[in-house]
Each structure stands twice: as structure tokens, then as C-alpha cells.
Amino acid sequence: MSALPVGQKAPGFTLPGSPEEPLSLSDSRGKNVVLAFFPAAFSPVCGNELSLFQELKPDFEELNAVVVGISVDGPWAQKAFAKQLNLEMPVLSDFHPHGEVAQKYGVFRDDGVAERALFVIDAEGVIRYSYVSPITENPGADKVLEVLEGLQKGG
Amino acid sequence: MGEHGAHVLRVAVGADDWRRGPDDAPVTLVEYGDFQCPHCGAAYRVLEELLAQFPGRVRLVYRHFPLMSSHPRALPAAIAAEAAGAQGRFWEMHHLLFENQHALGDDELVEYANRIGLDMERFRADFEGRLNESKIREQLRQGARSGVNGTPTIFVNGERYDGPRTVEALAQAVAAAG
């Protein structure tokens, strides 16, 4: 399975998680979306990745972007995870059917969890950045910010 | 890493950085740290030992990277360090903070300032006035753009160091860099 490449239309989805209301990709049309797949809630590297995105919230806002975390954990785990890390961003539960959205994006692993993957989806719903990180490595925010800055300049 | 590429320091070390060691040292280590982060506390001890091993050859720079949503005391501690820095005592405060990571309440920060002999009236005013908060936040933003993905992150002569944070491994990296 390989991650959907740049230029493809981003598959739509609606998922529950944190906060209470289910979220659809189409809710964010008109904004850039950073879709951050991660293998499991509560692994320390994940926490760092989403915590980092949380700290950079004003930067993402300036770039007309929202960050959305997503993993195969259940909605209750996502709520607890988001609460523990004080995450204000949506953390979605790709739990049922298991990993369906990860599969659509080509980032579902044989061991049953999502890859650690980042997608930037532009305001028209087109994938503009696609990256699968080594599973134990926090990919950071630099490339994503660079791509968003390029989009803002009309890249 | 392929398409993701190497991570290099975007903002060069300058006059407004907290620096230790000679400015013409062959090796500069830039640490992005968070005073409430336990891994930074461990790295503090390693870096102290490294500096002792390479006198005159290593310059250490400390930049702030407070992960505030998970470490609510990281920002106040960073402000306390800046306020100590305004009186020429950044590194003494830096040491005390890393040696007392579980006690970073406002009263404790004031106590540390007192312990290192700061002008307390001035410290209180700077601390309450959130001295250099915008500089601290800017270091986090710029750090993230340089590929800082968590704390601590160390750059060796401008390149992100992804190896183990042990004295031995870092000593090798220092020896290789200069």
C-alpha cells in the first residue's frame, strides 16, 4: 500500500472523535487541512507530534489551515488523549470500520494501525503534500509549514 | 529520510542568543529546550559533561521551545530564565531550573532568583511583565521551521543531530564536526 500522491483528490470522510461532533473533510472546504495520521494514541512520540502542532496553532491559522489528527483508536481514547495533551484540534477515530480512512489514503499498515503520515489538502480538496514518516519518528512541522506557505503565495 | 530532506538551522546564532564557550569555538551546539521537559533535564546533565570534556572547543547555545499545552510551567520558567539573563545570570537560572524541574511554581521561580542573588525588585517586575515572551514564542516558531520536532533537539554546527543523547555519542559528533 502506498500513500496517495500529490495532485490526487483527497477522499472524503466523516468520523467521530474529539470533540463531540463528528467531523467531515468537506466541513473544511475553503481551508487547507493538515491531516496527521498517527499509529496510536498515547505513544510518547505521537504526543510530541500533535503537541507541536498545537503550539503552532497561530501559525496554521495564519496560513488558513486546520490540523486534524487521526488514528484507529476509539472515540473515547481520542477524547482522553486530546484532553491529556490539551489539544484543541480535532482528533478523529478511524475505528469503525477499522482503518477505513487510512486505507483510502493508502496509509494503513499490515499490523492494523495507520502509518505516521502527513497530508496537506488544499482549499479545493486536492492533496498538495504526502509524506510517510518512519513510524517511530516524529516528522515535525517544517515541511508542512513550507508547503502551506507556498500555497499562500499562490504556489 | 529521502524527500523530507535534512534539517538545518534557519536562524544563525547571533548576539541575542544565550551562549557559553568561546564564540570562535570550532563546534557550536544549539539546543532547543523546555525547562519542564524531563528529557531536557537529562540532556542538561549530558551537555554539562560534554562541555567539561571539550573545554574551549564547544560553544553551547540555548533556545526556548516550550511545549506549553502539555507543560504549563515551561513558559513561566523560560520567562524567569530571561529575567535572570537580563541581569547577566541566564545560565545560573538555567541550571537551577533543570535541577529542580518538579518545582517550577511562581514562588519557587522567585526563590531561585533570590538564591542566585538577583536584584529582586527588578526580577519581579520583569517576571510579572513577562519579559521576552515574544522572543520565546518566536524561538519556538523558528525552531519548528528548522525541524525541531520535540524537545530537546540539538543542532551540531547547524545540522540537526538525531543520534543518541549520550555523552559518548555526542562526543563523537563533536569530534567529527570540528
Residue closest to B30 by CA, chosen among B139, B156, B168? B156
Q: Which residues of B touch A48 (CB under 8 A)?
A: 67, 149-150
Which residue range is the domain that position B70 belongs to? 2-177
User: Are residues A49 and B149, on separate chains, in Cβ contact within 8 Å?
Assistant: yes
Q: Are B34 and B74 in contact (CB under 8 A)?
A: yes
CATH architecture, domain defined by A29-152: 3-Layer(aba) Sandwich (3.40)
What CA–CA distance (Å, rounded) separates B7 from B38? 24
How many angstroms away from the CA of B127 is the closest CA of chain A?
22
pLDDT above 70 covers what percent of chain A? Answer: 95
User: Are residues A56 and B144, on separate chains, in Cβ contact within 8 Å?
Assistant: yes
Q: Which residues of A touch B149 (CB under 8 A)?
A: 48-49, 52, 137-141
Residue B172 one-letter amino acid:
Q
- The DSSP-derived string for A14-69 is EE-EESSS-EEGGGGTTSEEEEEE-S-TT-HHHHHHHHHHHHTHHHHHHTTEEEEE
Q: Which A-chain residues 97-116 have CB contacts (< 8 A) with chain B?
A: none
Beta-sheet pairing, B27-33 with B153-156? antiparallel
The total of other beta-carbon atoms located within 10 Å of residue A75's CB is: 18
Q: How many domains does chain B have?
A: 1
Each residue of B50-66: pLDDT tens digit?
999 999 999 999 999 99
Most confident of A19-33, A34-48, B130-144: B130-144
For the entire predicted model, the pTM comes to 0.91
What's B42's domain CATH number? 3.40.30.10
Complex ipTM over 0.90: no
pLDDT confidence of residue A65: 97
B128-136 average pLDDT score: 98
Query: Residue B145: in which H helix or E strand, if any?
Result: helix B133-145
Q: Which residues of B touch A137 (CB under 8 A)?
A: 149
Each residue of A79-119: pLDDT tens digit?
999 998 899 999 999 999 999 999 999 999 999 999 999 99
pLDDT confidence of residue A155: 59
Q: Which A-chain residues 34-93 have CB contacts (< 8 A) with chain B?
A: 45, 47-49, 51-52, 54-56, 59, 84-87
User: Are residues B69 and A55, on separate chains, in Cβ contact within 8 Å?
Assistant: yes
